[in-house]
Amino acid sequence: MKKIAISVLALTLAVLLATPAMAQKIEPYASMRLGTFYSSHQSNVTGVDDNDDLNIDLADISRFGARGQVGDIYGVVEMGMRGNENRAGYDTTFGGAVPYYNRQIYTRLLYGKWDFGAGNLIVGQDYTLPTYPSAQQAPGVFDLQNGFIGVGTLWDRRYPQVKVVLDNGLTFLAAQTFDGIGPSGGFAPPAGTLAGGNSDVIIPKLQVAWDVRREGWYIGPGIGYNTYKYDDTAVGGTFDDDIDSYVAFLKGSWDPGPVAFRFTVHYGENLSNFGILGRKNANAVVVNNSVQDAECWGGYLQAAFKVDPTTITVGWGYSSSDNDASGPEADELMGIFVNCKVPIAETFFIVPEFSWWDGMDNAMGIEDPDSWHLGILWQADF
């Protein structure tokens, strides 16, 4: 699969670059992100040993692709290169048994954009509207350059979609509905129902946002809604109803000069059923055929201090998910980080960072594991 993906991209670029009319408008690019981090995981459980690891591997968001314009259409194709060695030390989402040398190639972006005068129509696979990562570089809930996913950042992934971005700042998006397909491709039925049922999608995932940008500041409120129907009666269950989820979010930044602030806050129900990754107990639970909703909220705040030629950034994030059907307490997670971006060459820089993740209490009131990460993120763009 890896050889096929590379061959297809190479062939596409060769055809485009061989066409004189297109050669001036097509730009290949790549970005290598390597992490060298020491991670310490503290179990907080009597009899369970702590786990300390040194990991050197590619960040999952290392990438290569091409962008440019052909006629009236601007397009982007971007592939990612996923490292696997780091999974053994950070999490096992994609299976820690995969050999470190077996890189996975996956599609990050593939879309076309048409400027119709009052705005742009974007069709293909792109980011959705709630995603607004922080400058946190170390591992966290997910891989290197975690970006505070799970502690304030809403990671809604990259979905196939149709998006209209108007010049007045309004954006309307209709994307593939999330109906229980996890990041590894497996289907997970709603909690409290039987596996093997039927999932029906009636309307797409819908999102609306309004971005207001002025000199020195930005603010962007938005909302999103996702729904699908699940029926497990054919496999011996008794549930046949909708699983609804929504989120309201606010993104923003303010740069008064020597320090630049960036923040986001959100509130919603059943964020895991919405498709948000990195949250625990943020899903609906079916009890006696009744859907019990999870109340979810969180956000982060970061401040970047410009000390030429470096930038020092500190950040704090928090998330809470509460569903009485999952346990008597809210499942909480908090994170802090401090890093320093240091330029080495024109398109090459490093980011030394220290991150601390406080597991706090889970839904049963038991303290979850804590962890800290110390190391350097290396990035070269070309």
Split the chain (382 residues) into runs of 10 and give each run's mean pLDDT.
Answer: 53 53 74 92 70 83 92 91 53 43 78 94 97 92 84 92 97 92 68 89 95 96 96 92 96 95 97 88 91 95 96 97 89 95 96 93 84 95 94
User: Left if phi > 0, otherwise alpha if psi is -120 to 50, otherwise beta: which for 265?
Assistant: beta
The pairing of beta strand 285-287 with beta strand 259-269: unpaired
Domains in the chain, start-ordered, CATH in brackets? 2-381 (2.40.160.10)
Q: In degrees to the nearest 10, what's the CA dihedral of 95, 97, 99, 102?
A: -30
In this prediction, residue 97 carries a pLDDT of: 46
In the numeric block, the tokens 């499942």 are attached to 331
In this prediction, residue 9 carries a pLDDT of: 57
In this prediction, residue 89 carries a pLDDT of: 39
**Three-state SS for 20?**
helix
CA distance 332 to 35: 27
In this prediction, residue 92 carries a pLDDT of: 35
In this prediction, residue 45 carries a pLDDT of: 65
What Cα–Cα distance (Å) separates residue 352 from each residue in 99, 126, 378? Answer: 27, 30, 9
Omega of the bond prior to 309 within 30 degrees of 0, cis? yes
What Cα–Cα distance (Å) separates residue 103 from each residue in 81, 214, 237? Answer: 6, 42, 40
CA distance 115 to 18: 26
* Cβ atoms 93, 142 nearer than 8 A: yes
CA distance 284 to 298: 18
